[in-house]
């Protein structure tokens, strides 16, 4: 963002903080692409847009608290950075619990299309064949991981390590059998 | 992003902004609570105190939500209303008791508090370049705020407050226009 746009954003946000609704549209137009770009740098594309929107809502909710002696851009990016950090933590927690919402959605979408269903069936068969090549312990760990479960007697950190090792072996096996990841 | 999604997002952002302004109003109006408590305990007119406090809180919330000169006026009015609110209550707390059938001491305190509040209001209005609607808002909020203290003197106290506020603010405002 160049200096002129930055100064204009500061002026508009100051007016908005004071209650001038005329400044709403210019601030919205200036912030949407800015926050999208900022979120896209720190998050996967699928999540970046949602986080950018969340940050935008936070900026407008707290616009009345904007201190005109501070730089508007730094203030906005501070809010966005916090949202990104929160999203990353959420993502980490989801990974630890072994449930990937995105995977669930993707599978549900695949099941709606017969051609995609056939491809998914072939892929499942190939994965099953690759799993049979792995050691029974690795195969059991990955099956449990795919089902979103963890054996109760195995601690979470140990299970995560086993999953990582199992996935690395499966990846190697897949690469030698199918020539790509 | 499709145009419809963009409009929906803009509408959501606008709602978030308006919600933020209402929350600002609620935060600023929270100062009315201790004022109302003082008035209820000291003035012996709980219904009138509660009505004045409710009007004051509603006014502050509405003005802060609207913002601009109304919001600035409400903030100035809350400060300018403190002398007429506190002066009669301090006098009462100091042990002064009025036994005559018509006591002029408390209404006089309301006039004095009003003059001090009016001078504050006029000075702040000149300093912050308050427009006419902002000035009216500040006056109304200061009057309601002062009423919470001047209820101790009844209607005479309220009239004394209004006269005092006008007398205190007028010279500053007239000097500014001159």
CATH number (domain holding residue A34): 1.10.1740.10
Residues A7, A93, single domain; the answer is: yes
Task: Tell me what pLDDT residue B137 has.
Answer: 93
Task: Tell me what pLDDT residue B66 has.
Answer: 94
CB atoms within 10 A of CB A80: 24
Task: Tell me what pLDDT residue B83 has.
Answer: 92
CB-count exposure of residue B126 (10 Å: 0-12, 13-18, 19+): middle
Is pLDDT above 80 for B102? Answer: no
Quick one: average pLDDT of B92-99? 70
Residues A50, A105, single domain; the answer is: no
Return the residue in A58, A62, A64, A66 with the most chain B beta carbons within 10 A, the one to mutate for interface testing.
A64
**Measured between CA atoms, how close is B67 to chain A, in angstroms?**
4
**Segment among A123-132, A133-142, A158-167 with least mean pLDDT:** A123-132
Domain that holds residue A51: 3-97
Q: How far apart (Å, rounded) are the C-alpha atoms in residues B141 and B145?
A: 6
**pLDDT single digits (tens) A143-173:** 887 777 778 888 888 888 888 888 888 877 7
Residues A88, A105, single domain; the answer is: no
Task: Tell me what pLDDT residue A181 has.
Answer: 44
Shortest CB distance from A57 goes to which of B13, B21, B23? Answer: B13
Contact A1, B2 (CB under 8 A): no
Is pLDDT above 70 for A105? Answer: no
Residues A132, A75, single domain; the answer is: no
Instruction: Please give the share of chain A, as a percent, with pLDDT higher than 70.
Output: 82
Is pLDDT above 70 for A100? Answer: no
Whether the CB of B21 is below 8 Å from some CB of chain A: the reply is yes
Task: Tell me what pLDDT residue A179 has.
Answer: 59
Confidence band of A25 (pLDDT split at 50, 70, 90)? very high
Is pLDDT above 50 for A12? Answer: yes
- The residue from A97, A132, A151 where one domain ends is A97
In this complex, do A16 and B17 lie within 8 Å of one another by their Cβ atoms? yes
Whether the CB of B16 is below 8 Å from some CB of chain A: the reply is yes
Return the residue in B16, B27, B72 with the most chain A beta carbons within 10 A, the one to mutate for interface testing.
B16
Confidence band of A99 (pLDDT split at 50, 70, 90)? low
Contact A20, B71 (CB under 8 A): no
Shortest CB distance from B24 goes to which of A20, A28, A64? Answer: A64
Residues A39, A117, single domain; the answer is: no
Residues A159, A86, single domain; the answer is: no
Q: Which residues of A touch B9 (CB under 8 A)?
A: 32, 53, 56
Quick one: average pLDDT of B123-148? 90
Return the residue in A57, A59, A79 with the most chain B beta carbons within 10 A, the one to mutate for interface testing.
A57
Q: What is the ipTM of this complex?
A: 0.81
Quick one: average pLDDT of A120-140? 78
In this complex, do A20 and B9 lie within 8 Å of one another by their Cβ atoms? no
The structure's pTM equals 0.69
Residues A7, A91, single domain; the answer is: yes
Domain that holds residue B132: 3-177
Shortest CB distance from B20 goes to which of A25, A32, A64? Answer: A64
Whether the CB of B104 is below 8 Å from some CB of chain A: the reply is no
Report how many domains make up chain B.
1
Residues A80, A161, single domain; the answer is: no
Report how many domains make up chain A.
2
DSSP letters spanning A39-72:
HHHHS-HHHHHHHHHHHHHHHHHTGGG--TTS-H
Quick one: average pLDDT of B48-69? 93
Q: Which residues of A touch B20 (CB under 8 A)?
A: 60-65
- The residue from A97, A116, A139 where one domain ends is A97
């Amino acid at each position: 963002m160049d200096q002129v746009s930055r100064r204009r954003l500061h002026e508009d946000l100051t007016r908005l903080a004071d209650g001038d609704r005329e400044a709403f549209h210019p601030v919205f137009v200036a912030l949407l692409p800015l926050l999208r770009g900022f979120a896209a740098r720190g998050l996967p594309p699928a999540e970046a847009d949602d986080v950018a929107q969340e940050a935008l809502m936070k900026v407008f909710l707290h616009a009345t608290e904007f201190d005109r002696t501070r730089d508007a851009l730094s203030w906005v990016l501070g809010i966005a950075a916090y949202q990104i950090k929160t999203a990353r933590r959420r993502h980490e927690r989801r990974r630890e619990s072994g449930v990937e919402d995105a995977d669930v959605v993707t599978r549900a979408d695949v099941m709606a299309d017969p051609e995609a269903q056939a491809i998914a069936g072939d892929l499942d068969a190939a994965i099953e064949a690759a799993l049979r090549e792995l050691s029974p312990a690795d195969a059991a760990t990955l099956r449990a991981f795919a089902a979103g479960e963890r054996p109760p007697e195995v601690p979470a950190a140990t299970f995560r390590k086993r999953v990582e090792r199992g996935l690395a072996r499966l990846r190697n096996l897949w690469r030698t059998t199918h020539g790509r990841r | 992003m499709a145009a419809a999604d963009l409009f929906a997002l803009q509408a959501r952002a606008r709602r978030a902004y308006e919600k933020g302004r209402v929350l600002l109003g609620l935060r600023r109006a929270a100062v009315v609570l201790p004022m109302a408590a003082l008035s209820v305990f000291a003035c012996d007119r709980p219904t009138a105190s509660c009505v004045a406090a409710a009007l004051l809180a509603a006014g502050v919330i509405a003005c802060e939500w609207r913002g601009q000169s109304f919001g600035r006026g409400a903030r100035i009015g809350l400060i300018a209303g403190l002398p007429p609110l506190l002066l009669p209550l301090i006098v009462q707390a100091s042990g002064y008791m009025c036994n005559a059938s018509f006591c002029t001491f408390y209404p006089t305190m309301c006039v004095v508090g009003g003059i001090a509040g009016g001078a504050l209001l006029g000075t702040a209005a000149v300093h912050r370049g308050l427009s006419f609607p902002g000035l009216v808002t500040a006056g109304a909020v200061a009057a309601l705020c002062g009423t919470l203290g001047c209820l101790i003197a009844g209607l005479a106290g309220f009239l004394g407050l209004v006269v005092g506020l006008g007398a205190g603010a007028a010279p500053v405002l007239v000097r500014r226009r001159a």
